Amino acid sequence: MKVLIASDHAGFELKEQLKQRFQADFDFEDLGTFSNESVDYPDFAHKLAEKISDKSYQYGVLICGTGNGMAMSANKHADIRAGLCWSKEIAALVRQHNNANILVMPARFIPAETAYDIFETFFHTDFEGGRHQRRIDKINISHGE
């Protein structure tokens, strides 16, 4: 499966660990950052979210210190549902109920093993549809377009 992945400086190390751990099963396109030198997280979140929003890719992973900045930035884009996950239970729910297409993780608050569990859960959980689709259809805001 092809997956976009990006981080800021705080998430760089965890991003590299995830790529290493899952390289046999996932084809990662890494959008940066490529070191732990300070960068601005919105630059990476927007780049990744644009590629999901325009349907170039189906799924992405964003990682920063708390995950909040990446999630807030990515969720500004149409048809993006970036879910901030601290546990595998949350990862399952954002897929089942919210059909999240971007997994966001807080590198400074979860150990690598937890991140691996979250990643696996996110990518092995299906959207339930039904009543959840009706709710998802209400997320995007139209500005008279």
CA 80-75-13 angle, 5° bins? 95
Do residues 98 and 83 lie in contact, with contact meaning Cβ atoms separated by under 8 Å? Answer: yes
Compute the distance between CA of residue 60 and CA of residue 1 in angstroms, rounded to an integer.
11
Compute the distance between CA of residue 61 and CA of residue 67 in angstroms, rounded to an integer.
11
Note if 97 is an active site residue: yes
Compute the distance between CA of residue 67 and CA of residue 63 in angstroms, rounded to an integer.
6
Residue 27: helix, strand or coil by DSSP? strand
Do residues 116 and 127 lie in contact, with contact meaning Cβ atoms separated by under 8 Å? Answer: no
Give me the catalytic one of 9, 46, 97, 132. 97
Which are the catalytic amino acids? Answer: 97
